């Protein structure tokens, strides 16, 4: 639990006291591999902090799943549409391995934000983090070297290789699974 709180404090630049206040109002929930936390076309206004596990967000279009983000220990996960606008989600959020998370409804969270400047700032940082994550994903898709994008992703989140099928990593990198296999083979052969 200590490492989880430290990750939250570090990632979202919030005090341990504020994190503890938030966690005291959240419910611990358990998910199994392949559970859908959010299903495209439904509403889910909850905010989740992942205690253990890896989740991915993706959309389905023309028979193809495109992964737009991964989240792991100490990260927030939510449908922006449900969280911000109480609207139907345009994405799915899927559990990649058995996971434990903390959950809070948007209504309860807004009451907490109104009660504490520190927690209100956490809400702003959550949205800032979401915007940065999306822009990084969009910008990296234009990067000329898929190998560089892959190496950066694995350096930042090495546990993805253990729990996430390569086809989902490939879609996140905007390449085919075959291209990813060639990149991995090249890395294994050359060491870089």
128-163 in b/e form (b: 16+ CB < 10 A) is: eebeebeeebeebeeeeebbebbeebeeebeebeeb
pLDDT tens per residue across span 160-192: 999 999 999 999 888 999 999 999 999 999 987
pTM of the model: 0.82
pLDDT tens per residue across span 105-157: 999 999 988 988 888 888 888 888 777 877 776 666 555 588 888 998 899 88
CB atoms within 10 A of CB 103: 15
- Give pLDDT, residue 142: 53
- Give pLDDT, residue 6: 86
- Give pLDDT, residue 137: 67
Per the prediction, the chain carries an average pLDDT of 88
């Amino acid at each position: 639990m200590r490492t989880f709180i430290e990750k939250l404090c570090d990632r979202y630049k919030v005090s341990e006291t504020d994190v503890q206040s938030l966690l005291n109002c959240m419910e611990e929930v358990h998910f199994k591999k392949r559970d859908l936390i959010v299903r495209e076309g439904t509403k889910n206004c909850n905010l989740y902090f992942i205690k253990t596990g890896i989740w991915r967000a993706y959309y389905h279009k023309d028979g193809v799943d495109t992964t737009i983000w991964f989240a792991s220990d100490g990260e927030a996960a939510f449908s922006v549409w449900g969280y911000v606008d109480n609207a139907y989600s345009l994405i799915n959020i899927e559990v990649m391995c058995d996971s434990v998370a903390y959950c809070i409804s948007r209504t309860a969270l807004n009451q907490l934000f109104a009660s504490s400047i520190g927690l209100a700032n956490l809400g702003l940082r959550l949205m800032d983090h979401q915007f940065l994550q999306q822009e990084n994903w969009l910008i990296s898709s234009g990067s000329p070297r898929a190998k560089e994008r892959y190496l950066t992703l694995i350096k930042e989140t090495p546990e993805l290789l253990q729990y996430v099928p390569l086809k989902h990593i490939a879609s996140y990198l905007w390449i085919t699974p075959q291209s990813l296999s060639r990149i991995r083979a090249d890395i294994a052969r050359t060491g870089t």
